[in-house]
Copies of this chain bind each other. A is one copy, B any other.
Amino acid sequence: MAFERAFDVAKKISDSAIHRLSLYVRILEEWEREGRDTTSSEELAERGGTTAAQVRKDLSLFGSFGKRGLGYSVGELADHIRSILGLGRTWRVALVGAGRIGTALLEYRGFRERGFDIVAVYDADPAKVGGCVGERTVRDVAGLEEGIRAEGVEIVVLAVPGEAVQPIVDLVVRAGVRGILNFAPLKPRVPEGVTVRDVNLVMELEALSFALSQDGPDA
């Protein structure tokens, strides 16, 4: 069964393959909204900026799909990739850090659409604790470990200053969290089996600045 096979091969799937699957599902969802029924690896490749061979290879990592010569059903392929990406379920998420980035994230529709249910918000600032962000009351970060255990939190979204990252990561990992989405500018150290994804705006700004600087002072 394709699904069991997916579990087997999971560890060998590259980050760039996952990112492409993510891109394919977004393209397919766009086409679903436009009412398109079928597509081909050629069309997906063209829209996604890759090759048809790459699309077929990415999809074949998770079992065979589609009928030779008939292409793919847009809806079925979208469902299939969503299930590969674990998007069929809801994840219990705690947000740590109720600053600007944190509160903007709370309103970000993409979280809910991808099954990320933010069940609690924590901050270390006494001026923020007890206040409201969106529909949630900000809790004292001192209760984070207990809160994670009590509420079965699986993912922590970290939007705290760099120096606060490692102690909080150590604590949430101890409490059983195995997935961290990190917005802080420093990469935390985690034990094996814990996944950290970084969304590092400052690094992207600096990479952009670097690239533009290379064209010389007249740039």
Is A162's CB under 8 angstroms from B85's CB? no
- Do residues A212 and B23 form an inter-chain contact, with CB atoms below 8 A? no
Contact B30 A187 (CB under 8 A): no
Majority DSSP secondary structure for residues of A touching B: helix
Contacts A89-B213, A181-B208 given; 6 further ones with Cβ under 8 A? A15-B207, A19-B200, A85-B210, A101-B104, A111-B205, A114-B209
30 CB < 8 A contacts A-B = A10-B213, A18-B206, A18-B207, A18-B210, A22-B206, A26-B202, A27-B186, A48-B187, A49-B189, A85-B206, A86-B209, A86-B213, A87-B206, A91-B212, A100-B108, A101-B104, A103-B104, A114-B209, A116-B205, A154-B219, A155-B212, A178-B215, A179-B209, A181-B204, A181-B205, A197-B205, A197-B207, A198-B204, A199-B199, A199-B201
Find chain B residues with CB under 8 A from A115 CB. Answer: 209
- The answer to whether A195 has its CB under 8 Å from any CB of chain B is yes
On chain B, the residues within 8 Å of A67 by CB distance are none
**Count of identical protomers in the assembly:** 2
How far in angstroms is the closest Cβ of chain B from A69? 28
* A125 vs B27: C-alpha distance when bound (angstroms): 23
Interface residue ranges, A against B (CB under 8 Å):
6-7, 10-11, 13, 15, 18-19, 21-23, 25-27, 30, 48-49, 84-87, 89, 91, 100-101, 103-104, 107-108, 110-111, 114-116, 154-155, 162-163, 178-181, 185-187, 189, 195, 197-216, 219
Give min CB distance, A74 to chain B, whole Å. 16
Interface pair B197/A208, CB less than 8 Å apart? yes
Which B residue sits closest to A111, measured CB to CB? Answer: B205
A202 lies within 8 A of B22 (CB): yes
> How far, in Å, is A43 (CB) from chain B's closest CB?
15
Q: How far is the CA of A189 from the CA of B46 in the complex (A)?
A: 11
